[in-house]
Amino acid sequence: MDEELEYAKERSWREVAAIDAAHERGELDDDGWHTAIAALVVPAYLRAETPEGGSGSSRDAAGWEYARSLIADAVEAGQTFLDVGCANGHLMESMARWARVEPFGLEISPELAGLACQRLPQWRDRIWVGNVADWDPPQRFDVVRVSLDYVPAPRRRHLVERVLTYAGRLVIGVFNEEREVRSLEDEVAAWGFEISGRSERDHPHPRLAYRAFWLDAAG
């Protein structure tokens, strides 16, 4: 394993790998997996000193826009856009600016959802606390953005199937991946889903790219 490359993809890769391994061995059930991930992520987000850091990015404002605005390629102005794992709400407000969407948020951590409501009081009734794995939405959305690492690996297919029951389009990303492969797309396509579109940009690491891709609901 190229540890330097893994660190460039995910700074907490060792900790996440240990949690995944414990789940695979049966030492953690799904709830325990989510609790362990939250213990890793939530304190770091809450103590971040920038909006970008509070939404999981180590980049500055320009770097945030360069990488995360890939998602704007998947939406049209005026659409409803749900950010799953919205953290402090920074992507919600960014997408409203970049693409003029109507933003909504879902966050598993009550503390982070509270921070998002505090930062964005005009949208506090659009920000919900819940686990996307079993959340029942109050409405359909034109576009839903999610990361597959919000659930344990064996639950990823179920996550995609579930979200597509209330999303016109499901956007997966932004994630960091080696340029020469499309492992995440291949995994999703192997479940029988058609990739409707994709967007990517160069990553500061020469072997990586920032990527997002999306699926459209049938019918």
pLDDT value at residue 207: 92
User: CA 51, CA 104: separation in Å to the nearest integer?
Assistant: 17
Q: What is the mean pLDDT of the chain?
A: 94
Q: 113 near 105, Cβ under 8 Å?
A: yes
User: CA 163, CA 28: separation in Å to the nearest integer?
Assistant: 24
Query: In the chain, how many domains are there?
Result: 1
97 Cβ neighbours under 8 A, 6+ residues apart: none
Q: What is the mean pLDDT of residues 78-94?
A: 98
Q: How confident is the model at residue 2 (pLDDT cuts 50, 70, 90)?
A: confident
pTM: 0.95
User: CA 53, CA 193: separation in Å to the nearest integer?
Assistant: 33
User: CA 203, CA 178: separation in Å to the nearest integer?
Assistant: 10
pLDDT value at residue 120: 98
Q: How confident is the model at residue 58 (pLDDT cuts 50, 70, 90)?
A: confident
pLDDT value at residue 12: 78
Q: Phi and psi of 84, rounded to 5°?
A: -80, 130
CATH number at residue 120: 3.40.50.150
Domain that holds residue 155: 3-216
